[in-house]
Chains A and B, each alone.
Chain A
Amino acid sequence: MEMSANQELILETNELTKKLGGKPVVKAVNMQIRRGDIYGFLGPNGAGKTTTIRMLLGLAKPTAGSIRIFGKDIRKMRLAILRKVGSLVEYPSYYGHLTATENLEAVRRLLGVPKSRIDEVLSIVRLTKEAKRPVRGFSLGMKQRLGIATALLGDPELLVLDEPTNGLDPAGIQEIRELIKSLPQTSGVTILISSHLLSEVEQMATRVGIISKGELIYEDSIHRLREQAQGRVRLGVSNPESAWRLLLSHGYPVGWENGRLTVAKADDRTVASIVARLVKQDFEVYRVEEETASLESIFLQMTGTEGSL
């Protein structure tokens, strides 16, 4: 864990548990989000993402465990915390008969922020032109953007977006993605974004947490996850067994399977020096090939949903 003083924890759960009708749907989750993170909260549908997020926002009460946001306990300081949190849970909520501006105004009156903020958030999500239309007639993508605008209204320090791209077409997904990526730079906000697709958040997330069957089974930087996904190199050589012994005796981390040599997590330098060593000792090197596992397949392996369809 690379934890330094300037990476202040914004959100932290401790053994967070929720039972619904006696069944645990969230089990002892310990989650940590630091200031400036874009935290991808991943898991298949029904893994407990939305339930966790509901608890983070104080919409549902944990059966056990605790939540601290901005260093404060959600049970005791709910209002103080929510004042600095913007959220979009599941699908966007809106009042269909009102226009986009009126929808934002209904929330603005509760937040007590200046009126000018409405135009600002409308322009951030590029809805300025549609502001005077009833939301009923909006496309799903526009409703989703209005939902994000609502979440941004209070100028939050933490933005919680639950499946913000759910049900959108590829163009809509791209649009929301660009929008979210641009946020931390423009407003310095920390973002928690959930999704059931790794590919959807991998391009914007800095850290990921993976939840499966209610348990947080992985939490680290996206960088580390990529490392895991990095493949190994296989070498086809003449007389592989003696080549393997030779390389081991020189301290290279090589394996031997199916008549091929394998090198896990090999950087370019290691591969080059292995090849040089083999050639020097008169082994014939037939092929050097990379075997890669995609991030998605690692994710699927972790969550045990591979082939579940």
Chain B
Amino acid sequence: MMLRILSSEFLKIRKKLIWLLVAAGPIGVVALQAVNYGVRYDYLVAGKETAKLWSGLIGNVSMLALPALMVGLALVASMTAGIEHQMNAWKLTLALPVRKRQVFAGKFLLTALLLLISCTLLVPLTVALGLALGFDGPIPYGDLLTNAYYPYLAAMPFIALQAWLSVTMANQTLPLTIGIVGMIVSMFAGGRFPDWVPYKWPQLVNASHEPLYSVTAGVALGLVVFVAGMAEFVRKDVK
């Protein structure tokens, strides 16, 4: 049943701007770094060893990708839920023989999958930029994948939260404002907040220097928020 719901969800976003956003996010991030490297080539590239070049590039891409992910998840969640809000289509879907739980899970999964696509695109795009800049030597695929997926997993509480808020509120002003505030808070959370603050997790910074702690915490809390959102959605009357 979940597969059927997802296939229906993907059909509904056909020809929608969401796809443009999903692609524009990673492309924009890498393109900006391309300009950055182009303008400051001498400072960033000249005379450095290959490994440093790659790790520098990955770090620079992550620096922009994190806020893009944090605000992008709010936008994508709002757009996927907006399809139903705009045309008052919740009553259509929920009067069909599907569980409300599954409808909620469908919206969450759609949002999460679209963001996963965005994060995945970062990898080939970063590699392409590195090669275009003339970096040679072994491409550090491990680091590339880690930097694409760990922050994504650690941001899971926010994906679940935004999916919940966007689905539950017809007016998207509040969910999107919360998303924007979240992005800005997370950007400045790194050095200032204690480790337990979720806004810090996507940066994978913690006292034990173990990124997997942030990832685990993110996935766990993400699950909790998801279940809470689902419980609320199931109980609510449909407008």
In the complex they form, whether A and B have CB atoms below 8 Å apart is answered with yes
B40 within 8 A of A: no
Q: Are B88 and A91 touching (Cβ within 8 A)?
A: yes
A281 smallest CB distance to B (angstroms): 66
Q: Mark A101-145, 1 if CB is under 8 A from B, else 0.
A: 010011101111000000000000000000000000000000000
A182 within 8 A of B: no
- Please choose the segment from B10-18, B55-63, B115-123, B206-214 that sits at the chain A interface, where 4 or more of its residues have CB less than 8 A away: B10-18
In B16-69, the 8 Å CB interface with A consists of 16
Interface size class of A (residues with CB under 8 A): 20 to 34
Q: Which residues of B contact A98 (CB under 8 A)?
A: 11-12, 14-15
Closest to B102 in A: A110
Q: Are A82 and B237 touching (Cβ within 8 A)?
A: no
Q: Which residues of B contact A83 (CB under 8 A)?
A: 97
- Please choose the segment from A2-10, A56-64, A297-305 that sits at the chain B interface, where 4 or more of its residues have CB less than 8 A away: A56-64
A79 within 8 A of B: yes
Q: Are A109 and B7 touching (Cβ within 8 A)?
A: yes
B7 smallest CB distance to A (angstroms): 5
Q: Which residues of A contact B12 (CB under 8 A)?
A: 95, 98, 106
- Known contacts A59-B237, A91-B88, A93-B89: does B96 contact A110 (CB below 8 Å)? yes
Q: Are B237 and A110 touching (Cβ within 8 A)?
A: no
B205 smallest CB distance to A (angstroms): 42
User: Contact partner of B238 among A59, A112, A150, CB < 8 A?
Assistant: A59
Q: Whole-angstrom distance between the alpha carbons of A87 and B97 in the complex?
A: 11
Q: Are B87 and A59 touching (Cβ within 8 A)?
A: no
A97 within 8 A of B: yes
Closest to B93 in A: A110
Q: Are A110 and B5 touching (Cβ within 8 A)?
A: yes
A283 within 8 A of B: no
Q: Mark B82-118, 1 if CB is under 8 A from A, else 0.
A: 0100111111111111110000000000000000000
Closest to B89 in A: A93
User: Contact partner of A97 among B15, B89, B99, CB < 8 A?
Assistant: B15
Q: Which residues of B contact A80 (CB under 8 A)?
A: 97
- Known contacts A59-B237, A61-B237, A106-B11: does B98 contact A79 (CB below 8 Å)? yes
Q: Which residues of A contact B88 (CB under 8 A)?
A: 90-91, 93
Q: Which residues of B contact A112 (CB under 8 A)?
A: 4
User: Contact partner of B95 among A58, A96, A97, A102, CB < 8 A?
Assistant: A58
Q: Whole-angstrom distance between the alpha carbons of A60 and B235 in the complex?
A: 9
Closest to A108 in B: B8
Q: Whole-angstrom distance between the alpha carbons of A54 and B94 in the complex?
A: 10
Q: Which residues of A contact B11 (CB under 8 A)?
A: 98, 102, 105-106, 109
Q: Are A94 and B95 touching (Cβ within 8 A)?
A: no
Q: Are B7 and A59 touching (Cβ within 8 A)?
A: no
Q: Whole-angstrom distance between the alpha carbons of A45 and B88 in the complex?
A: 20
In A126-182, the 8 Å CB interface with B consists of 150, 154
Q: Are B238 and A54 touching (Cβ within 8 A)?
A: yes
Q: Are A59 and B95 touching (Cβ within 8 A)?
A: yes
Q: Are A82 and B238 touching (Cβ within 8 A)?
A: no
B171 smallest CB distance to A (angstroms): 18
Q: Are B95 and A57 touching (Cβ within 8 A)?
A: yes
Closest to A94 in B: B87
B148 smallest CB distance to A (angstroms): 30
Q: Are A59 and B97 touching (Cβ within 8 A)?
A: no
A308 smallest CB distance to B (angstroms): 27
A233 within 8 A of B: no
Q: Which residues of A contact B92 (CB under 8 A)?
A: 89, 93-94, 107, 150
Closest to A20 in B: B237
Q: Whole-angstrom distance between the alpha carbons of A59 and B8 in the complex?
A: 20
- Known contacts A59-B238, A61-B237, A98-B14: does B96 contact A107 (CB below 8 Å)? yes
B23 smallest CB distance to A (angstroms): 18
Q: Which residues of B contact A91 (CB under 8 A)?
A: 88
Q: Whole-angstrom distance between the alpha carbons of A112 and B86 in the complex?
A: 25
Closest to B6 in A: A109
Q: Whole-angstrom distance between the alpha carbons of A306 and B87 in the complex?
A: 35
In A248-304, the 8 Å CB interface with B consists of none
- Known contacts A58-B95, A89-B95, A97-B15: does B8 contact A109 (CB below 8 Å)? yes
A277 smallest CB distance to B (angstroms): 61
User: Contact partner of B89 among A82, A87, A94, A102, CB < 8 A?
Assistant: A94
Q: Whole-angstrom distance between the alpha carbons of A112 and B87 in the complex?
A: 23
A128 smallest CB distance to B (angstroms): 20
* 4 closest residue pairs by CB, A with B: A93-B92, A93-B89, A82-B97, A109-B8
11 contacts between A and B (CB under 8 A): A85-B95, A89-B92, A93-B88, A93-B89, A93-B90, A93-B92, A94-B87, A95-B87, A97-B14, A98-B12, A111-B97
Q: Which residues of A contact B (CB under 8 A)?
A: 54, 57-61, 79-80, 82-83, 85, 87, 89-91, 93-98, 102, 105-107, 109-112, 150, 154
